[in-house]
Amino acid sequence: MPVSGRDYPRTWEQFLDWFADEAACARYLEGIRWHDGFVCPRCGVEDEAYRVSRNRLLCRHCRYQCTATAGTVFDKTRTSLRNWLAAVWYITNQKQGVNALGLQRVLGLGSYQTAWAMLHRLRRAMIRPGREPLSGLVEVDESYVGRSVATRGAAVKPAQGHDNQAILRHTIVAVAVEIKTPKGFGRIRLRRVTDTSQASMLPFVKDSIEPGSLIHTDGSWAYRSLSKNGYRRHKTVMLGNPDPAHVSMPGVHRIAALLKRWLLGTHQGAIKPAYLDYYLDEFTFRFNRRTSRSRGLLFYRLIEQAMLTEPVTYSDITGGSKHKL
């Protein structure tokens, strides 16, 4: 278990102290990547490497040169490591997260695009590969996110003028949340889905929830074959049920409300549909670690995951311009 003050800074003061320059940042990231000692990425030999520059190491055996950030989110970037670490610190220390403008200001970055792309790269690192599926009692439902209060099945007026809001209004998010006894919520999973059919919802359930779990849903036809797929189902039929949705499915209702507030608050709803998945990942990362005692631990975890996440170029993110960050 990583320890505050040893594996990650305890305070911003300590952050400034530890990460005084690029060399110090590189050594810190080397310590995370090779915490049991250097292993050459080419020949696999475990032996102390020579340092040939502030961030470049040389394998004693095959003479291969590498950096700790090669092949990670921090690779191939013009942004200094110090700014990257400061960005991670800032993102994980703000309870509600941060938008690109906020990050640009706090880091003093010249370009909004740089701040925006840094946030997107870090969002891609927020989902840990191989994470454990949800289990126990899990509520599953779909929710509309967006500014309007469109109810399920209601006709949605085509939006005019503002693109982003229009897009969010049409977006359906699948929500799964663990329900704890006697009370409280466990972890969540979210996914943008194109509709509320079985073809959309069943893969979400199978990817997110351990077989054998008890799944609480409404009466929707989309969940008809849960038992065939190894799940137990508890069904609450809404039609004619005197309880409104927030009483019979309190978990999903609560998560959807928090998610909407976050999208419209921190991000002012200015999110394109192609990027919504990454915002859902960030929300999930934050929610599932909401009880983490130390914000510093969150900082450590996000860096750890970023070191395991493939590099992303600006054109990967925007699907267009070759602009290098």
Which positions lie near Zn ion, rule CB under 5 A? 40, 42-43, 59, 61-62, 64
For CA atoms 305, 311, 316, 320, the dihedral sign is positive
Q: How far is the CB of 60 from Zn ion (least distance, A)?
A: 8
What is the pairing mode between strands 232-236 and 65-66? unpaired
Element (H, E) at 124: helix 112-124
Q: Which is nearer to Zn ion, 40 or 245 (CB)?
A: 40
Please, are residues 217 and 233 in contact by the beta-carbon 8 Å criterion? Answer: yes
Could you say which DSSP state residue 4 is in?
Answer: B
Q: Which is nearer to Zn ion, 59 or 145 (CB)?
A: 59
Q: Which is nearer to Zn ion, 43 or 274 (CB)?
A: 43
Could you say which DSSP state residue 317 is in?
Answer: H
Q: Which is nearer to Zn ion, 56 or 233 (CB)?
A: 56
Q: How far is the CB of 64 from Zn ion (least distance, A)?
A: 5
Q: Which is nearer to Zn ion, 44 or 203 (CB)?
A: 44
Taking the C-alpha atoms of residue 283 and residue 264, their distance in angstroms, rounded to an integer, is 13
SS3 159: coil
Phi, psi (rounded to 5 degrees) for 270 = -85, 65
Taking the C-alpha atoms of residue 162 and residue 143, their distance in angstroms, rounded to an integer, is 22
